[in-house]
Amino acid sequence: MADGTTKTAKLTIDGKDYDLPVYSPTAGPDVIDIRKLYAQAGVFTYDPGFTSTASCDSTITYIDGGKGELLHRGYPIDQLAEKSHYLEVCYLLLYGELPSAAQLEDFENRVTRHTMLHEQMMYLFRGYRRDAHPMAIMVGVVGALSAFYHDSTDISDPWQREVASIRMIAKMPTIAANAFKYTLGQPFVYPRNDLDYASNFLRMCFAVPAEDYEVNPILSRAMDRIFTLHADHEQNASTSTVRLASSSGANPFACVAAGIACLWGPAHGGANQACLEMLQEIGTVDRIPEYIARAKDKDDPFRLMGFGHRVYKNFDPRAKVMKQSADEVLDLLGIEDNPTLQVAKELEKAALEDPYFADKKLFPNVDFYSGIILEAMGFPTSMFTPIFALSRTVGWISQWKEMIGDPQLKIGRPRQLYMGSTLRDYVDMENR
């Protein structure tokens, strides 16, 4: 916490002044500390949707929405996407610095040795209906990890916290792949420790016992880049859900399951599925004006999926890398003239040239192009959000670890602006 501040903000209520400390972060706007406001002035602040509220202090990720900048521990996402890889970014997010070669090898080794699931967990998958959405399976199975790994649920023990962190990063691809295999009616494919993280995931998703599966290094690199681009994103809805859940002292598996549930929504992680479905529904470039008109129509609930962001009022820097990746993957797979990519490119162009989107600063977000790559790889739309969830697990865990390690940790307990009935007497049934 930025203590020793010299700045204050003055708040006047009914002629009485209150001085509130103001903190200057290392980057971003100043923050007014209102923690003692209720005790001193007897008022709450009102900010549904947290549009002006910092819920914590953090050293992990920084976003400058105006510039379209995303930094992990200070390193820009485009450099990490180009020069680094997912597990190195995981290390950076979890421990604060880029690893040495020996540290990275040790970390990769630890993750690789935890990729298998307790065999009894396979019964859990089999208990779901075959047509279950893989996110429904993930919410349940990740929560159930706490029933299988009792030796890493005591959050007061740093060693257990560390083991839980490694377990979740390691097992999430296995869980997501199993959810996929189950809905396909194919046998589960067990992880292989000689493969890198992304290749192992692709193999668990696409291999079958009947024939060998060769991981295409181009697809593996693209997969790794998708993981990297989704690894963390500051205090978004699912991360805030994980933090709020863990503020009560709940075990880490339960908290990450809560994050997965939140991520599922179409305004958040579910947008990648919704976006590809929208691009496919549009189908051809000539129908774009109709959909742009619908997105602008106040009486139509339709929104351009993959467009707009609470924080970015400029290009989402992840979208730029994702667009380039989509071009590369389709090109290298020899998929020419992909109609969905054509629609995406023309839709992006049409929206960016339209004053409605320009005035509201609505730009493509990370989900606008990711679905095109995932579809080209062979994933159905229902797997898009599980892939986001497995990528974001490290972000949730890094933020959780940071929070648990904070000596000022308090249970999260927002207040409200109550607009309901005041005290009234119970009315007996015969008098209603």
The correct pick among 207, 215, 288, 295 for binding ligand ACO (CB under 6 A) is 295
> Rounded to the nearest whole angstrom, what is the least distance from the CB of residue 233 to ligand ACO in the complex?
7
User: 33 catalytic, yes or no?
Assistant: no
Q: Is 332 left (phi over 0), alpha (psi -120 to 50) or beta?
A: alpha
From the candidates 78, 367, 425, 428, which is the catalytic residue?
367
**138 near ligand ACO, judged by CB under 6 A:** no
R_g over Cα of the chain: 23
**307 near ligand ACO, judged by CB under 6 A:** yes
411 close to 208: Cβ distance less than 8 angstroms: no
76 close to 317: Cβ distance less than 8 angstroms: yes
| Binding mask of the shown chain, residues 260 to 279, with x at each position contacting ligand ACO by CB under 6 A | -------xxx-x--------
Q: How far is CA 167 from the centre of its chain?
A: 18
> Rounded to the nearest whole angstrom, what is the least distance from the CB of residue 371 to ligand ACO in the complex?
11
Stretch that binds ligand ACO, among 137-145, 332-340, 361-369, 414-422 (CB under 6 A): 361-369
Phi, psi of 39, rounded to the nearest 5 degrees: -60, -40
Residue type present at position 196:
D
55 close to 234: Cβ distance less than 8 angstroms: no
**362 near ligand ACO, judged by CB under 6 A:** yes
From the candidates 309, 316, 327, 354, which is the catalytic residue?
309
**241 near ligand ACO, judged by CB under 6 A:** no
What is each CA distance from 377 to 209, 269, 342, 380, in whole angstroms? 20, 19, 17, 9
Which lies closer to ligand ACO via its Cβ, residue 226 or residue 404?
226
Q: How far is 103 from 422, CA to CA, in rounded Å?
A: 60
User: 367 catalytic, yes or no?
Assistant: yes
**308 near ligand ACO, judged by CB under 6 A:** yes
**365 near ligand ACO, judged by CB under 6 A:** yes
Which lies closer to ligand ACO via its Cβ, residue 198 or residue 271?
271
Which lies closer to ligand ACO via its Cβ, residue 4 or residue 48?
48
The correct pick among 110, 192, 303, 345 for binding ligand ACO (CB under 6 A) is 303
Which lies closer to ligand ACO via its Cβ, residue 183 or residue 365?
365
Task: Classify 306 as helix, strand or coil.
Answer: coil
229 close to 70: Cβ distance less than 8 angstroms: no
**306 near ligand ACO, judged by CB under 6 A:** yes
**360 near ligand ACO, judged by CB under 6 A:** yes
The correct pick among 110, 114, 192, 310 for binding ligand ACO (CB under 6 A) is 310
Q: For residue 94, with 0-12 CB atoms within 10 Å meaning exposed, 13-18 middle and 19 or more buried, which class applies?
A: buried
> Rounded to the nearest whole angstrom, what is the least distance from the CB of residue 272 to ligand ACO in the complex?
8
Bridging pattern class, strands 69-72 and 75-76: antiparallel
What is each CA distance from 180 to 187, 286, 338, 370, 379, in whole angstroms? 10, 35, 25, 18, 9
The correct pick among 367, 373, 393, 398 for binding ligand ACO (CB under 6 A) is 367
- Which tokens in the block code for residue 44? 């709450």
**92 near ligand ACO, judged by CB under 6 A:** no
Q: How far is 77 from 316, CA to CA, in rounded Å?
A: 11
Residues 13 to 52 in contact with ligand ACO, rule: CB under 6 A: none
Q: How far is 263 from 266, CA to CA, in rounded Å?
A: 8
**366 near ligand ACO, judged by CB under 6 A:** yes
**385 near ligand ACO, judged by CB under 6 A:** no
- Which tokens in the block code for residue 376? 């080209």
- Which tokens in the block code for residue 33? 């500390």
Q: How many residues bind ligand ACO (CB under 6 A)?
A: 18
Site residues for ligand ACO per CB under 6 A:
267-269, 271, 295, 303-310, 360, 362, 365-367
Residues acting as catalytic residues: 309, 367
